[in-house]
């Protein structure tokens, strides 16, 4: 039932934000809570929980966290550069800026469109992340900036990033506020990972792993964390304005496979670092 005049926003389908939820009696923004929440420990690379004097943990591979990747001054300068470009409303109360090719993932088609390269302000940080041994061969071809605001109920539902165009590593720089990335398992129990010391009767669908995202940190998802666990940002984990910069590399299909010629063109364009927001 409608309760008030609907406010214009970018939400579609089942996705909602605080602007449009008042249009319905039902709160479509409410999300089921997980029965068991574990927290990622970057030192041990384990998902861990302590409850009633008992400790449970299991290995959680595919996550790299680098705190203080930016200085406080660099964070403010980067945020100012980002805010100097136009924002576009996105779903679930977010705003976004895209620097990348135009992609139809359903039809598996990609074209340059109005993409004219990555922006100059991200070049310094790309060079810095390449100084990390695990990332020295990382060549981004897309940058997506997202803004999360608590008053809009900003969030993003559990999902996998595309793996036809985008490659092994997803890299995100977290700005302005601490937050958490929530990981959940979508597969049936017969394919369940080894849950270590966790009780054998735990249902995977009731488990989530929270990865702390401190401001100015860099987080990398790869391997199982990229392809087996879904990731999301929950509304409850946005307490202040948060910006994030996500960099994506090309898949093997576009690097060494049948789409190599297209991939080389996209990489050459991205590496000019003279790009503007794709509107």
Please write the tens of the pLDDT for every residue from 188-231: 655 778 899 999 888 888 999 999 999 999 999 999 999 999 99
Could you read off the pLDDT of 232-264 as tens digits, one per residue? 999 999 999 999 999 999 999 999 999 999 999
Helix (H) or strand (E) holding 239: none
pLDDT at 279: 85
Could you read off the pLDDT of 153-192 as tens digits, one per residue? 999 999 999 999 999 999 999 999 999 999 999 866 557 7
For the entire predicted model, the pTM comes to 0.91
- What lies within 8 Å, CB to CB, of 43 at 6+ separation is none
Inform me whether the pLDDT recorded for 134 exceeds 90.
yes
3-class SS of residue 228: coil
CATH tag for 38-270 (out of 3.40.710.10, 2.40.50.140, 3.40.50.720, 2.60.120.590):
2.60.120.590
* Cα 236 to the center of its chain, rounded Å: 16
Domain boundaries, the chain: 38-270
φ/ψ of residue 141, rounded to 5? -125, 0
CA 108, CA 264: separation in Å to the nearest integer? 17
């Amino acid at each position: 039932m409608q309760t008030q005049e609907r406010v214009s926003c970018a939400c579609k389908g089942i996705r909602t934000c605080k602007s449009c939820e008042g249009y319905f009696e039902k709160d479509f923004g409410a999300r089921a809570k997980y029965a068991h929440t574990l927290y990622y420990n970057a030192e041990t690379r384990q998902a861990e929980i302590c409850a009633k004097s008992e400790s449970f943990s299991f290995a959680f591979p595919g996550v790299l966290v680098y705190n203080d990747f930016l200085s406080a001054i660099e964070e403010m300068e980067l945020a100012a550069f980002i805010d100097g470009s136009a924002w576009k409303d996105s779903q679930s109360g977010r705003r976004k800026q895209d620097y990348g090719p135009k992609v139809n993932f359903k039809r598996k088609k990609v074209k340059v469109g109005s993409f004219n390269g990555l922006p100059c302000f991200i070049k310094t940080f790309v060079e810095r992340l390449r100084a990390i041994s695990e990332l020295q061969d990382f060549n981004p071809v897309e940058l997506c900036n997202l803004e999360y605001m608590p008053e809009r109920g900003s969030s993003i539902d559990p999902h996998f990033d595309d793996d036809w165009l985008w490659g092994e590593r997803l890299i995100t720089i977290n700005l302005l506020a601490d937050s958490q990335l929530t990981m959940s398992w979508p597969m049936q129990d017969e394919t369940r990972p080894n849950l270590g010391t966790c009780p054998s009767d735990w249902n995977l669908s009731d488990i989530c792993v929270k990865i702390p995202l401190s401001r100015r940190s860099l987080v990398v998802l790869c391997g199982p964390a990229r392809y087996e666990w879904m990731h999301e940002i929950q509304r409850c984990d946005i307490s202040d304005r948060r910006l994030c910069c996500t960099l994506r590399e090309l898949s093997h299909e576009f690097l060494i496979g049948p789409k190599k010629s297209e991939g080389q063109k996209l990489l050459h364009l991205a590496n000019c670092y003279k790009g503007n927001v794709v509107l």
